[in-house]
Structure 1
Amino acid sequence: MLQITYLTFCILGTILPYSQFILFLMEHGFDFQLFFEQLFSNRIASFSAMDLIVSSVIFWTFVFVEGRRLEMKNLWIYIVSNLLVGVSLALPLFLLMRERKQQQKHNYQFNS
């Protein structure tokens, strides 16, 4: 059940941010200068952007520490998903795969 919840969050975490990003691209194209101007256009936007940047760095640390502890492979996937979509996809994706890894270890220990 928890895996279905994480998967649902992955889907929502991709669709909701990209619904806004696609509208920006349709209106302005790949104007990254305008993108960053709007990202930091006022104090509230800057607050949100800084929060996401700090959260991302914390998440990357968590991925490498916890991923190595659990001997998870391809940890770079979570960093790339964070950069391409955001924490809204990367965090539930990592938690989903972490849950699967923990279940595999539990099943291996139970069957041994």
Structure 2
Amino acid sequence: MKLKYIYAVICLFGTILPFLQFIPWVIENGLDIPLFVQELFSTRIGAFFGLDVIVSAVALFVFIYTESKRIQMPYFWVPMLATLSVGVSLGLPWFLYMRLVHLEKRA
């Protein structure tokens, strides 16, 4: 299986798996951002994962921006938007997919 298809499958799982937890929470609580933050940081382990994802997202944005400029890849903002709307679990594999497709076209 080609690497770009593996990235595409990871994008699918990276969207579905987090939303399987998030959508029922939203149905139950609505888009209550203060409650979301409170529950995310209500335990040390939750805070650990929350902060880990936030730092990872910042690092991913830096990587996406600098690598996209280096290889002159357009639409670098799309995986950034995916990261903000779903998470690193979608943004990272989407960027890797886009990068691979861009490099294949250039070759």
Residues 30-109 of structure 1 aligned to structure 2 (within 5 Å): 30-106=31-107
Alignment gaps of 5+ in structure 2 = none
Q: How far has the Cα of 1:26 moved from its partner?
A: 1.1
User: What amino acid maps onto 1:14 in structure 2?
Assistant: T
Per the normalisation by structure 1, the TM-score is: 0.92
Of structures 1 and 2, the larger Rg is shown by 1
- SS of equivalent to 1:41: coil
Quote the sequence identity (%): 42
Per the normalisation by structure 2, the TM-score is: 0.96
- SS of equivalent to 1:72: coil
Which residue is 1:109 aligned to?
Answer: none
CA RMSD across the alignment: 0.6
- Number of residue pairs the alignment of both structures matches: 106
Which residue is 1:12 aligned to?
Answer: 13
Question: Which aligned runs of 4 or more in structure 1 are off by greater than 2 angstroms?
Answer: none
Kindly indicate whether residue 31 of structure 2 is the aligned counterpart of residue 25 of structure 1.
no
